[in-house]
């Protein structure tokens, strides 16, 4: 199963329209891959809070249009990263779009853990309430976005729902790059799953992006890692390795769930 992670640059000197065209053409170049992944909020930039309301799109908006065509032209499964979704009946959401190789919108995922504490995304966007997996012929994707990476219980939920490849588009800041790499490897090891973590490159809204998109196998080995600049990583995954790892080192079977809360026993 060949996966390509497009670590696209999000510098403000490029218009959103131009970036959409460029992203579509980068996706088309990945013909021959099984799965292509773009990062979080790449059209607008994850920290461009002042543009969220004006650049919000409906689920059949311009990013949908461009990515649906690009997936169909390339004949690939496309995790098109996320957009600022305008829900006509609700708040804005940070929503990922996954397309099948015929360009159909297969699933959407609204980011569950909003970043910013009491500011930014955390107050400007609604929180997703649903775990999402996507069945591909070779693997089951478990979807998460950026800050979600810090919440291991989300990934356990995805694994319990059958996920074998955890896909994490992000707009991670450079100043916490160590956390990004460490958490991506931790999520792979503890869940005995592939991790595809695709970040953005460049600087926007004054926030330097970490880049360093990373692919980790179910044993925690780093298969590929990008540099800080725009780059596409292409990696061959072996879906059987998930089953093998889970059978040969069956730690997931040793979980002890439902233990009582701490008591007062001495």
Ligand X SMILES: O=C(O)CCC(=O)C(=O)O
**Which residues are at the interface with ligand X (CB under 6 A)?**
46, 115, 146-147, 150, 171-173, 176, 179
Query: How many Cβ atoms are within 10 Å of 152's Cβ, its own excluded?
Result: 13
DSSP three-state, residue 39 = coil
* 169: β partners: 198
The CA radius of gyration of the chain, in Å to the nearest whole number, is 18
Q: How far is the CB of 69 from ligand X (least distance, A)?
A: 27
CB closer to ligand X, 152 vs 162:
152
Q: Of 52 and 147, which CB lies nearer to ligand X in the complex structure? A: 147
Q: Taking Cα atoms as reference points, which of 177, 162, 173 lies closest to residue 47?
A: 173
Query: Active-site residues: which are they?
Result: 40, 111, 146
CB 254 to ligand X: min, Å: 29
Distance CA 92, CA 89 (A): 10
From the CB of 36, what's the least distance to ligand X, in Å? 21
Rounded to an integer, what distance in angstroms lies between the CA atom of residue 206 and that of residue 93? 22
CB of 173 to ligand X, least distance (A): 6
Q: Give every strand in the sheet of 165-169, ordered side by side.
A: 133-135, 140-143, 165-169, 194-198, 214-216, 222-225
Q: What are phi and psi of 20, to 5 degrees?
A: -60, -45
CA 216, CA 241: separation in Å to the nearest integer?
12
Output 117 or 264, the one with its CB closest to ligand X. 117
* CB nearer ligand X, residue 103 or residue 199: 199
Of residues 101 and 173, the one with the C-beta less far from ligand X: 173
State in angstroms the smallest separation of the CB of 132 from ligand X.
17
The three-state secondary structure class of 173 is: strand
User: Rounded to whole angstroms, how far apart are CA atoms 105 and 83?
Assistant: 14
At 140, list the tokens: 């089951």
């Amino acid at each position: 199963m060949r996966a390509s992670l497009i670590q696209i640059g999000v510098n403000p000197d490029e218009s959103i329209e131009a970036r959409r065209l460029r992203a579509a053409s980068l996706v088309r170049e990945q013909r021959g891959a099984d799965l292509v992944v773009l990062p979080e909020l790449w059209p607008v930039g994850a920290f461009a809070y002042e543009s969220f309301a004006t650049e919000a799109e409906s689920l059949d908006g311009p990013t949908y249009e461009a990515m649906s065509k690009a997936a169909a032209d390339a004949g690939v499964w496309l995790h098109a990263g996320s957009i600022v979704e305008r829900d006509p009946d609700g708040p804005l959401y940070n929503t990922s779009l996954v397309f099948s190789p015929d360009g159909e919108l297969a699933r959407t995922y609204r980011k569950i853990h909003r970043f910013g504490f009491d500011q930014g995304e955390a107050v400007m966007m609604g929180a997703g309430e649903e775990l999402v997996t996507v069945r591909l012929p070779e693997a089951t994707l478990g979807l998460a976005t950026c800050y979600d990476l810090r919440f291991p219980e989300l990934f356990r939920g995805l694994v319990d729902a059958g996920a074998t490849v955890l896909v994490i588009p992000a707009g991670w800041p450079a100043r916490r790059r160590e956390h990004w790499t460490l958490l991506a490897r931790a999520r792979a090891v503890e869940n005995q799953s592939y991790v595809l973590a695709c970040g953005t490159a460049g600087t926007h809204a004054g926030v330097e992006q970490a880049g360093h998109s990373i692919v980790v196998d179910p044993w925690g080995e780093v298969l590929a890692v990008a540099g800080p600049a725009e780059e596409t990583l292409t990696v061959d995954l072996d879906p059987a390795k998930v089953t093998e790892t889970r059978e040969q080192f069956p730690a997931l079977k040793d979980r002890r769930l439902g233990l009582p809360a701490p008591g007062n026993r001495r």
